[in-house]
Amino acid sequence: MSIRIRKIGRIGQITLQRPEALNAVSHEMVLAIEAALDGWRDDDRVACVLIDAEGHKAFSAGGDLQFMHETASKGDFEPGRRFWRDEYRLNAKIAAYPKPYIALCQGFTMGGGVGVSLHGSHRVVGESSKIAMPECAVGLVPDVGGTLLLARAPGHLGEYLGVTGYRMNASDAILAGFADYFVPEADWTGLTETLIETGDWSAVAALARDPEDGPLMAVRTLIDTHFGAESLSDILASLPNDDWGAATAKAIRTGSPLSASCTIELVRRARQSNEIRAALQQEYRFTSRSASEGDFIEGIRAAIIDKDRNPRWRHASVEDVTPETVAAMLSEPPGGDIEF
């Protein structure tokens, strides 16, 4: 098992232990975390939960997508769907967990890594933190409840972050509502020891500092001006003819046109519902179809398997994705909506 789960002192501690795979979250790890949380919920000896990870490069760079590609590329879509159903159930439990849930997120925290950490009540970032939802680049959409986090970001930051895959530093992540506290990473070992001894989450707040402003602050007005447009095509058409506009358009067009178009709609649906289970249900509508009707198999091939970075998407451009296609991808799946 690539995860260590234990009760120690006053806390339940979950440590991801796959640093060689950037702590990618496997199906087995999802089920183990869920079982631990269920067991600790009514255990008076556990005052709070701490999730952390081994290695300096990443808390977790995402879910175990290679496994899902292996099965889906053979025409077997059910293992992936089962993984997503179990993963999303865990994400909802974390968001509603009745005890403090503290996450220490160094390095890359993306995709599935976001799902097991950033729905918690006390989300800690440090100097090395790089947080993103880059799923459009591999033919998926921001999921694991990520569309709700994006929807709750100020203004239209959520649309921007969702379709560009922009990597937030600590300050950016706090601005966007993906994190709560900046704590220098040199203090994390001492913080963990204090939590083990006391179980008192206020130790996190006591060590928090104000990080320097990140790049996202400087472009907030630009983002709000352009990313409130009705469709992704409209957003692209409105971008300014300057370095920022060109870089932004390039980032959007690098990903799957279908994924990016659906991401805009998913973020806006999540903004309307403002509820984790509703967001996860909508995300599952896409991900459950992503291999059979979307670009997932090709996206993983190009990014992870062959690494040629030359995906052949189903649609040549964003402009080729119709509203009807988006609506079909986000309609109730044949097997029914995910249940919690």
pLDDT > 70? residue 290: yes
Report the candidate in 52, 53, 51, 87 with the shortest Cα–Cα distance to residue 67: 87
pLDDT > 90? residue 68: no
| pLDDT band at 52; cut points 50, 70, 90 | very high
In the chain, domain spans? 1-333
Is the pTM for the entire model greater than 0.75?
yes
The DSSP call for residue 125 is E
SS3 25: strand
SS3 57: coil
| Number of CB atoms found within 10 A of residue 15's CB | 16
> Hunting for tokens 């984790």 — which residue is that?
276
Strands 122-125 and 48-53, bridge-based pairing? unpaired
- Given 3.30.70.20, 3.40.1160.10, 3.90.226.10, 3.40.190.10, which CATH number is that of 1-333? 3.90.226.10
Cα radius of gyration (the chain):
19
Mean pLDDT, residues 116-123:
98
CA distances, 151 to each of 38, 139, 188, 275 (Å): 28, 20, 30, 10
Mean pLDDT, residues 98-111:
98
Amino acid at 37: L
